Amino acid sequence: MKNILLTSLALTALTLSFTSNAGADIAAGKAKSAMCVGCHGAKGKALIPTYPNLAGQNQQYLVSALKAYKSKARNGGQAMVMQGQASALSEADINNLAAYYASLK
């Protein structure tokens, strides 16, 4: 019984991970991430201590944050810089970037 439960949980987690990346292109996100490297590092590890690491971050959080910057709903800190960067992103770009950074460890 314990093995069945663990197998079921593992399959559910695997399904959710594929579902969360559905429609996103990690390779396209990696290519688009060149604009992020100056602050967030080549592999999503920030070079500047006051900037956040993006590697391994929750994909939905990244989508939400980028959309909030794009709509200028998110302010404070480096928001003006991020608003400028996000304004140039399409919906697909946002999803691809989020999937790419979420895939990094």
The mean pLDDT value for 58-86 works out to 96
Q: Which residue has the tokens 């201590």?
A: 49
25: left (phi over 0), alpha (psi -120 to 50) or beta: beta
Q: 65, 48, 49: which is closest to 101 by C-alpha?
A: 65
| Distance between CA atoms of residues 93 and 62, nearest Å | 12
**CATH number of this structure's domain 24-103:** 1.10.760.10
pTM: 0.77
Q: Which amino acid is at 78?
A: Q
| Distance between CA atoms of residues 53 and 44, nearest Å | 6
| Distance between CA atoms of residues 95 and 40, nearest Å | 17
* Percentage, residues of the chain above pLDDT 90: 72
In this predicted model, what pLDDT tens digit does every residue of 26-52 receive, in sequence order? 999 999 999 999 999 999 999 899 999
